[in-house]
Structure 1
Amino acid sequence: MDAHALRTARGDFATLDARPAGEANGTVLLLPGFTGSKEDFIALLRPIADAGYRAISVDGRGQYESTGPTDDESPYAQDELAKDVLAQAAAIGGRPHLLGHSLGGHIARAAVLKTPGEDTFASLTLMSSGPAQISPSQQARAKMLTDALAVLSMAEAWEAIQAQDPPEDADVDGNGALRERWLRHSPAQLIATGKQLCAEPDRVTELAAAPLPKHVISGERDDTWPVPWLDDMADRLRAHRTVITGAEHSPNTDRPEETAAALLAFWDRSTGG
């Protein structure tokens, strides 16, 4: 697995890049969620590469090791983040399978809707990412976080939220590493995307018209978008649906082996592998 900067027409983005031993069956581009980073997919990258796919997870603009403004929310508008994803896909080359976790799913959806069809992406997977805004309880927690970031430093905000769970992310490799990533996020990015999660419209009908294979995958429990919402979205999208037993909002970290197997089966079908 190689950590490097992906150079694009819209700037450089930090990535983790796992390549198969031989010729790749395809490429997968993975987008993390709110407060997340490319490391959220570490447990998936090697199984995906071992199965013959190149797997690239990326820090979006203002996330962890990808730089971005700290005091201006406008570069983090969803349309701007979607353009970043299109630039990443162009820099990678070919037609990658696109996967977005949680907030990353909304950004992935926006990218697909900017170029509907199969010319840019081979497929779209929405992982624990729902049809519209997050649940009311999660909206309250996201608002509390964004309000705190407006008046506290990142370090002060970290200490304040330790009394409660983060709005949606999972502890993937210890609190110390999560704190380090948190401190390197742009507060403007977190504020802007936190607002997006609380106001995202339902674009499922629009996405259903995009002619590329779609997959909705989640755990069997989810407080951010309740599982019945995800089931209904999958029906409306006419998407393949996977529920990972024993997983919650982050099946990529809760049950990585089962999640990787489900993803690979979908990508193999989508590419005729």
Structure 2
Amino acid sequence: MPDPVTPPAAATTPTPPGAEHRLVDVPGGRIHLVEQGTGPLVLMVHGFPESWYSWRHQLPAIAAAGYRAVAIDVRGYGRSSKPSAVEDYRMLSLVADNVGVVHALGEETATIVGHDWGSNIAADSALLRPDVFTAAALLSVPFAPRGGPRPTEVFAGIGGDEEFYVSYFQAPGRAEAEMEPDIRGWLAGFYAGISGDTMSPEGEGSLYFVPPGGRLRDRFPTGPRPAWLSEADLDHYAGEFERTGPTGALNRYRNIDRDWANLAAWHGAPLTGPSLFIGGERDASLAWMSDAVKAYPTTLPGLVSSHILDGCGHWVQQERPDEVNRLLTGWLDALPAR
């Protein structure tokens, strides 16, 4: 069992009562996690640009329901390892990290829950290692099997004269130059831009496109923070990225073609284990990936239920924690015993 560690001194927000910070060794380095409760393991994987802290509302709720709730910092984030090579952030490495965490915690299997990029990581973890990850809950980003042309080719064709944000993130240093001078302000604008209560009047998705010669932040809304994001929450996220820098997080985007090549053996493969999907009505991911949702009977044959939260944006488990907790714990309780 890994030893507990003291939370970083720079942290400005409390750890949920009863939870512990740990560092565990995995084949690719170390992973920082926060753990609470006992029972069957539930591993939670965050997205961009977040950290373990995006699960702060779920840790105590899942622990109280009788589970061992664990939220990790994905490699490149927080106190987890930050390798320098771009290719070290490929999906195969992130799946291996998750397997390593399960084993480091003395477990053989886990249910995996992911949001945003974490949804992709959770789905691929369950797809590649169904012996370890026996069920998957996917938040905000729908599941879509590997297929089609190279992802960078697809994304290059989106947006007309404007540049899709995934394409904008490809060149090392480009997005960093926009973010680094004001990490706190950039994060606040990005969170607000795709939150259900503060996104721009232009509607869902306008933030994701960069005008010619512009920056992503040119589309950030002006006005108040989202209701779910306190000053202390923003301080925590900003403190993490000011300490680590954004490159590790951005390198996930820079591996989409490498992932497409690495996962060729799983082309079109369905995710057959028990699954759950929760999305926000105002999240542009649902509009862009509507065909993926329609294909769930084929691609997610083990889907137990799918839920779209009215008026909610992208940050579902932070915007609607009580509702997400109810859906997650109800789904967990209905899973076959392991």
Same fold (TM over 0.5): yes
RMSD over aligned Cα atoms: 3.3
- Show the counterpart of 1:257: 322
Report the 3-state secondary structure (helix = DSSP H, G, I; strand = E; otherwise coil) of the residue aligned with 1:122. strand
Map 1:139-154; keep pairs closer than 5 Å: 140-145=164-169, 147=171, 149-150=173-174, 152=177
* Aligned mate of 1:115, from 105, 129, 140: 129
- Name structure 1 gaps, 5 residues minimum: none
User: How many pairs align?
Assistant: 264
- 1:217 and 1:241 in contact (8 A); partners too: yes
- With 232-241 and 29-38 compared, the bigger mean Cα shift is at 232-241
- What is the one-letter code of the residue matched to 1:231? V
- 2:125 and 2:133 in contact (8 A); partners too: no
CA distance in 2 between counterparts of 1:206 and 1:97 reads 20
Relative to structure 1, the CA distance from residue 122 to residue 109 in structure 2 (aligned partners, 3 Å threshold; closer, same or farther) is same
| 2:26 is equivalent to residue 8 of structure 1 | yes
- 1:234 and 1:241 in contact (8 A); partners too: no
* Aligned mate of 1:228, from 250, 269, 290: 290
Relative to structure 1, the CA distance from residue 107 to residue 197 in structure 2 (aligned partners, 3 Å threshold; closer, same or farther) is same
Report the 3-state secondary structure (helix = DSSP H, G, I; strand = E; otherwise coil) of the residue aligned with 1:152. helix
- Give the CA deviation at 1:185: 4.0
Report the 3-state secondary structure (helix = DSSP H, G, I; strand = E; otherwise coil) of the residue aligned with 1:206. coil
| 2:304 is equivalent to residue 242 of structure 1 | no
- Show the counterpart of 1:80: 93
CA distance in 1 between counterparts of 2:257 and 2:321 reads 28
- With 135-144 and 186-195 compared, the bigger mean Cα shift is at 135-144
- What is the one-letter code of the residue matched to 1:84? D
CA distance in 2 between counterparts of 1:165 and 1:54 reads 31
Deviations 1:224-250 (A, max 9, x none): 342734632433313121223342212
| 2:183 is equivalent to residue 165 of structure 1 | no
Report the 3-state secondary structure (helix = DSSP H, G, I; strand = E; otherwise coil) of the residue aligned with 2:30. strand
Map 1:57-76; keep pairs closer than 5 Å: 57-69=71-83, 71-76=84-89
- 2:42 and 2:110 in contact (8 A); partners too: yes
CA distance in 1 between counterparts of 2:336 and 2:282 reads 30
CA distance in 1 between counterparts of 2:85 and 2:245 reads 10
Report the 3-state secondary structure (helix = DSSP H, G, I; strand = E; otherwise coil) of the residue aligned with 2:314. coil
Relative to structure 1, the CA distance from residue 9 to residue 243 in structure 2 (aligned partners, 3 Å threshold; closer, same or farther) is same
- Give the CA deviation at 1:50: 0.8
- Name structure 2 gaps, 5 residues minimum: 1-18, 145-150, 196-225
- Give the CA deviation at 1:130: 2.4
- Show the counterpart of 2:141: 129
- What is the one-letter code of the residue matched to 2:36? A
TM-score by length of 1: 0.81
- Show the counterpart of 2:269: 206
CA distance in 2 between counterparts of 1:153 and 1:219 reads 28
Relative to structure 1, the CA distance from residue 196 to residue 74 in structure 2 (aligned partners, 3 Å threshold; closer, same or farther) is closer
- 1:101 and 1:128 in contact (8 A); partners too: yes
- With 89-98 and 218-227 compared, the bigger mean Cα shift is at 218-227
CA distance in 1 between counterparts of 2:309 and 2:257 reads 26
CA distance in 2 between counterparts of 1:271 and 1:90 reads 21
CA distance in 2 between counterparts of 1:124 and 1:66 reads 23
Relative to structure 1, the CA distance from residue 6 to residue 72 in structure 2 (aligned partners, 3 Å threshold; closer, same or farther) is same
Relative to structure 1, the CA distance from residue 196 to residue 164 in structure 2 (aligned partners, 3 Å threshold; closer, same or farther) is farther
What percent identity do the matched residue pairs reach? 20
